[in-house]
Amino acid sequence: MRIAILHYSKPPVIGGVERVIGEQAAALQKLGHEVVILTREEWREAKWDAVIVHNVFSMPFDLAWTEELIALTDSRHDIRWINWVHDVRWAEKVPQALHIAVSEHRKAEYAKITREPIHVIPNGCDAKAVLGLTDRVSALQLEKVGLVLLQPTRFVRRKNIEMGLRVLAELPEAIYLVTAAPDPHQKDGLKYFRELKRLAKDLGVSKRVHFLGEKAVLSDDDVRSLYLMTDALFFPSFQEGYGLPLIEAALHQVPVFCSDIPAHREVAAPDATFFKLSASVKSLARKIRAHPAIQARQLRRQMILRLDWQELLRQKLLPLIS
pLDDT for res 184 = 67
Residue from 322, 316, 321, 319 nearest 101 by CA: 316
pLDDT for res 214: 87
**Coil, strand or helix at 259:** strand
Q: What is the pLDDT of residue 91?
A: 86
How far is CA 157 from its chain centroid?
A: 34
Q: What's the full length of the chain, in residues? A: 322
Region 130-305: CATH code: 3.40.50.2000
CA-to-CA separations, 272 to 86, 171, 226, 320, in angstroms, rounded: 43, 20, 19, 49
pLDDT score for 239: 96
Please tell me the predicted confidence (pLDDT) of residue 180: 85
Q: Where are the domains of the chain?
A: 2-125+308-321, 130-305
Contact between 50 and 82 (Cβ < 8 Å): yes
Give pLDDT tens digits for 183-226.
767 778 889 999 999 999 999 999 999 999 988 889 999 999 99
Topology classification of domain 2-125+308-321 = Rossmann fold (3.40.50)
Residue 287 near residue 167, CB atoms below 8 Å: no
Does the fold of domain 130-305 match that of domain 2-125+308-321? yes
Q: Which residues contact 244 (CB under 8 A, 6 or more apart)?
A: none
Mean pLDDT of 80-103: 96
Mean pLDDT (whole number) for 90-112 = 96
pTM: 0.87
pLDDT of res. 45: 86
Contacts made by residues 16-25, CB under 8 angstroms, sequence distance 24+: 16/86, 17/54, 17/55, 17/86, 20/54, 20/86, 20/123, 20/124, 21/54, 23/124, 23/125, 23/126, 23/129, 23/309, 24/52, 24/124, 24/309, 24/313
On the question of pLDDT at 244 being above 80, the answer is yes
